[in-house]
């Protein structure tokens, strides 16, 4: 059997030491009627065979290495320097557990501390946790933080319609037993002023996205002021890669900044694993979910790192914990720490600018096409909405067949008002040639 080292002799020796005659005898406590089921599973195959099988499955997909990709909508095709994966493949990192024993886990602990530092410095916030599952669950946890901050006395959450539909869906799932109400995202037209109009003394938090789901960027300072005026928190959900270029949300006086870290060195991998950022201003540190790594000294006075403030957590506080989270996505946090380190101050800005310029070039070209218009008004980062002359599914089929491109995201499903609207993402991975092909394809399909 694969990965089981026991010899026949070993088994005999061990059974004897245990004092039983056979392996079957180890299961006397299991009800006999249901013991040892005959599982309907395929027969075992060798490593050679399983890799052939998986190779075939993987090749039954289209992927962004072989097909131009203009899909974004929360998962982005970015360049990941080779160094990132080489570090992730160090067995000392990926085969370690949560660093409960700090004396033999300083590698993971310092890496997480550095991740926390990089994310704090990128967002401008005071405290980052060691990660959450993804942007959606981080936002849901932000709602719980706001609820606890107001000691359960406020029940209303305002969500911008520009927050990713999956994030809003996840928040609704998490909230279903909490007796809360959600407002704001029922109308696509609810802009910052509209959301501010919904604020009242029962509002615990208002959450916006930056850039929003449609790629739009705006200054949320006024909304933050309005929220704070009624005692509500401002939560900004970010694409951290955009912060290579854009003002950090701390400048809007955000209380909580969450986001999805996939763009920072993590492959799309059909949507997961990704990385959830969770950062707060320091007054909320004791209310936040998840692990935190803090600096300290060891018995010789040398600097070292430990998990800290664990009295917030489930293994100590049980039902009174700030969250149930235990396993997070530490390895993905390491990936983004390596990514940010190796890209650095200059590299991250360059990537963000490449995305910005290429997306704006694409939008300009599409704007000039007959039958198409760009829906976004005002500034955007690397995504924008295009109103199309035909159903998006038809256009995407054409783009795939004729231009070897994965076209944009069909917005009609999440936003009925945006039927025949496509969300296009452009990153540093899209060459001018690919963009020109996309534009030519869009032009052609309008007349087919």
In the region spanning residues 291 to 310, those forming contacts with other proteins, defined by CB under 8 A, are 291-300, 302-306, 308-309
Among 160, 203, 239, 274, binds other proteins (CB under 8 A): 274
Are 242 and 49 in contact, with CB atoms under 8 Å apart? no
Provide the minimum distance between the beta carbon of 116 and other proteins in the complex, in angstroms, as a whole number.
Answer: 5
For the record, the structure tokens of 301 come out as 């006075």
- SS3 call for 446: coil
User: Which part of the chain contacts other proteins (CB under 8 A), choosing from 26-34, 201-209, 225-233, 369-377?
Assistant: 26-34
Question: Cα 285 from chain centroid?
Answer: 21
Q: Does residue 416 belong to the site contacting other proteins (CB under 8 A)?
A: no
DSSP run (H or E) holding 143: helix 135-149
Rule CB under 8 A: is residue 197 a binding residue for other proteins? no
The CA distance from 109 to 118, in Å, is 14
Q: Is 283 in the site for other proteins (CB under 8 A)?
A: no
270: exposed, middle or buried (Cβ count in 10 Å: 0-12, 13-18, 19+):
exposed
Of the pair 120, 230, the CB lying nearest other proteins is at 120
134 lies in the binding site for other proteins (CB under 8 A): yes
Q: Is 28 in the site for other proteins (CB under 8 A)?
A: yes
User: Among the candidate windows 58-66, 148-156, 191-199, 226-234, which touches other proteins by CB under 8 A?
Assistant: 58-66
Q: Alpha-carbon Rg of the chain, whole angstroms?
A: 25
Q: Comparing C-alpha atoms, which of 103, 113, 110 is closest to residue 299?
A: 103
Binding residues for other proteins, rule CB under 8 A, total 205
Q: Does 37 sit near other proteins (CB under 8 A)?
A: yes
The CA distance from 216 to 382, in Å, is 9
- Residue 179 or 416 with smaller CB distance to other proteins: 179
Give every CB contact of residue 87 below 8 A, 6+ residues apart in sequence. Answer: 93, 334, 335, 338
Q: Does the footprint of other proteins cover residue 95 (CB under 8 A)?
A: yes
Q: Counting every residue, how long is the chain?
A: 448
Residue selected from 8, 29, 186, 416 as contacting other proteins according to rule CB under 8 A: 29
Tell me if 448 contacts other proteins by CB under 8 A.
Answer: no
Q: Are 357 and 428 in contact (CB under 8 A)?
A: no
Provide, rounded to whole angstroms, the least separation between the CB of residue 354 and other proteins.
6
**Nearer to other proteins by C-beta: 50 or 201?**
50
Angle at 430 between CA 429 and CA 433, to 5 degrees: 140
- Of 153-161, 194-202, 217-225, 229-237, the segment contacting other proteins by CB under 8 A is 217-225
Are 215 and 164 in contact by the 8 Å Cβ rule? The answer is no
CB of 448 to other proteins, least distance (A): 18
Least CB distance from residue 129 to other proteins, whole Å? 9
Backbone φ/ψ region at 228: left (φ over 0), alpha (ψ -120 to 50), beta: alpha
Asked if 261 touches other proteins (CB under 8 A), the answer is no
Packing angle, helices 432-445 and 330-367, rounded to 10: 50
401 makes contact with other proteins (CB under 8 A): no
Which residue, chain included where needed, has tokens 């040398």? 302
Here the tokens at position 147 are: 């609820």
Closest CA to 423 of 436, 414, 434: 414
Say whether residue 45 binds other proteins (CB under 8 A): yes
CB 163 within 8 A of CB 132: no
| Beta strands across the sheet bearing 156-159 | 127-128, 276-280, 256-260, 233-238, 203-210, 156-159, 181-183
Q: Does 104 bind other proteins (CB under 8 A)?
A: yes
- Pick the binder of other proteins from 208, 223, 232, 325 (CB under 8 A): 325
Question: Which residue do the tokens 């020109």 mark?
Answer: 436
Return the residues of window 138-177 that contact other proteins according to CB under 8 A: 144, 164, 166-167, 169-170, 172-174, 176-177
Interacting residues with other proteins between 326 and 385 (CB under 8 A): 326-332, 334, 337-338, 340-351, 353-354, 356-358, 360-361, 364, 379
Q: How far is the CB of 224 from other proteins (least distance, A)?
A: 15
Write out the binding residues for other proteins, residues 221-240 only, by CB under 8 A: none
In the bound complex, what is the minimum distance in angstroms from residue 141's beta carbon to other proteins?
9
- Please, what is the minimum distance in Å from the beta carbon of residue 254 to other proteins? 14
Query: Residue 199 or 354: which CB sits closer to other proteins?
Result: 354
Q: Does 314 bind other proteins (CB under 8 A)?
A: yes
| CB of 147 or CB of 199, closer to other proteins | 147
With tokens 């709602």, the residue in question is 143
CA distances from 152 to 324, 346, 359, 379 (A): 18, 44, 43, 37
């Amino acid at each position: 059997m694969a990965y089981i080292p026991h010899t026949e002799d070993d088994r005999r020796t061990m059974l004897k030491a245990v004092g039983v005659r056979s392996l079957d005898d180890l299961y006397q406590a299991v009800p006999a009627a249901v013991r040892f089921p005959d599982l309907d599973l395929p027969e075992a195959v060798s490593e050679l065979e399983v890799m052939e099988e998986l190779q075939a499955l993987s090749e039954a997909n289209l992927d962004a290495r072989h097909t131009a990709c203009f899909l974004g909508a929360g998962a982005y095709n970015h360049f990941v320097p080779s160094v990132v994966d080489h570090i992730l493949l160090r067995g000392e990192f990926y085969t370690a557990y949560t660093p409960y024993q700090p004396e033999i886990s300083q590698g993971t602990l310092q890496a997480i501390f550095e991740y926390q530092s990089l994310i704090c410095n990128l967002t401008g916030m005071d405290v980052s946790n060691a990660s959450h599952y993804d942007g959606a669950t981080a936002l849901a946890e932000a709602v719980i933080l706001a609820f606890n901050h107001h000691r359960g006395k406020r029940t209303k959450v305002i969500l911008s319609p520009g927050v990713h539909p999956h994030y809003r869906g996840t928040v609704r799932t998490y909230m279903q037993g909490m007796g809360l109400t959600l407002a704001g995202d029922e109308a696509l037209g609810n802009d910052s002023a509209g959301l501010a109009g919904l604020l009242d003394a029962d509002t615990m938090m208002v959450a916006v996205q930056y850039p929003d789901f449609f790629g739009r960027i705006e200054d949320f300072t006024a909304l933050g002021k309005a929220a704070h005026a009624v005692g509500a928190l401002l939560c900004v959900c970010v694409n951290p890669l955009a912060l290579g270029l854009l003002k950090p949300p701390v400048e809007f006086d955000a209380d909580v900044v969450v986001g999805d870290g996939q763009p920072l060195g993590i492959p799309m991998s059909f949507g997961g694993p990704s990385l959830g950022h969770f950062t707060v201003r320091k007054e909320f540190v004791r209310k936040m979910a998840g692990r935190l790594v803090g600096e300290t000294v060891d018995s010789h006075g040398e600097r070292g790192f430990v998990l800290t403030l664990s009295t917030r957590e489930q293994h100590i506080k049980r039902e009174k914990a700030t969250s149930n989270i235990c396993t997070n996505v530490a390895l993905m946090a390491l990936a983004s720490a390596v990514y940010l380190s190796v890209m650095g101050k200059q590299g991250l800005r360059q990537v963000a600018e490449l995305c910005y310029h290429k997306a704006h070039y694409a939008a300009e070209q599409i704007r000039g096409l007959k039958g198409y218009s760009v829906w976004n008004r005002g500034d955007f980062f690397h995504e924008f909405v295009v109103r199309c002359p035909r159903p998006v599914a038809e256009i995407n089929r054409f783009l795939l067949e004729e231009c070897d491109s994965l076209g944009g995201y069909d917005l009609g499903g999440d936003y009925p008002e945006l039927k025949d609207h496509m969300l296009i993402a452009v990153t540093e991975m899209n060459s001018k040639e690919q963009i020109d092909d996309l534009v030519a394809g869009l032009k052609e399909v309008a007349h087919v």
